[in-house]
C-alpha cells in the first residue's frame, strides 16, 4: 500500500503557540476541563472562564458534553505541543463546524468506537454552531494540508 501523498494529521505535534486563535482557545479550554475533572472540581466553570475571554461562554455546555462523550488524554495546561488525541478532537470539531459531518465522524473514529463516535457528533455540531455564533471559525486543516507546498530551492 502506497502512503506517499497522504497529508500529515493536522495539528499533531504543533507547538501550542503556533495554533490559530480559535484552535488555541479550544485547546486551552479542553485542557482546563481535564485538569478540573481530574481534581474533582466542576469542569464547566473552569471552561466558562476561559471561553468568556472571547465572549464564547455559550460554547461551554456543548464542549462539556463533547468531552464527556469523547474522553481523550489531554496534555497538561502548559504542555508545549498538541498531543495526537487533542489534534484528532480539534480536527473533528473543525470539520463538524464546517458541515463536513462524515469527515468529522471519521476523525472521531480515530479516538472512539463507532457507537461512541456517533454519540459525540451532536455535541461537536452544537459546539461548532456556538463557536461560529461567537465569531470563532475553526480552520479546515485538511484543505490546508492538501495544498501543494512550494519546492525547496537550493
Q: How far apart are CA 151 and CA 21, in angstroms?
A: 28
Q: How far apart are CA 66 and CA 44, in angstroms?
A: 12
Write down the pLDDT at residue 147. 59
Write down the pLDDT at residue 154. 54
pTM: 0.86
**42: which residues sit within 8 A by CB, 6+ positions away?**
36
Write down the pLDDT at residue 1. 43
Could you read off the pLDDT of 111-125 as tens digits, one per residue? 999 999 999 999 999
Q: What are phi and psi of 17, to 5 degrees?
A: -70, -15
Write down the pLDDT at residue 140. 81
Write down the pLDDT at residue 24. 96
pLDDT along the chain (154 residues), means of 10: 55 92 96 94 92 95 95 90 94 94 93 95 97 93 61 58
Amino acid at each position: 500500500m502506497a502512503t506517499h501523498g497522504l497529508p500529515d494529521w493536522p495539528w499533531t505535534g504543533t507547538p501550542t503557540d503556533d495554533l490559530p486563535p480559535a484552535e488555541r482557545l479550544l485547546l486551552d479550554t479542553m485542557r482546563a476541563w481535564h485538569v478540573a475533572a481530574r481534581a474533582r472540581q466542576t469542569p464547566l466553570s473552569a471552561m466558562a472562564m476561559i471561553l468568556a475571554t472571547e465572549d464564547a461562554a455559550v460554547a461551554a455546555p456543548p464542549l462539556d458534553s463533547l468531552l464527556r462523550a469523547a474522553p481523550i488524554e489531554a496534555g497538561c495546561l502548559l504542555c508545549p505541543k498538541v498531543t495526537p488525541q487533542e489534534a484528532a478532537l480539534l480536527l473533528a470539531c473543525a470539520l463538524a463546524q464546517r458541515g463536513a459531518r462524515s469527515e468529522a465522524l471519521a476523525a472521531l473514529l480515530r479516538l472512539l468506537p463507532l457507537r461512541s463516535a456517533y454519540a459525540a457528533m451532536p455535541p461537536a455540531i452544537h459546539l461548532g454552531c456556538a463557536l461560529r455564533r461567537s465569531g470563532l471559525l475553526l480552520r479546515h486543516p485538511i484543505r490546508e494540508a492538501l495544498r501543494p507546498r512550494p519546492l525547496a530551492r537550493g
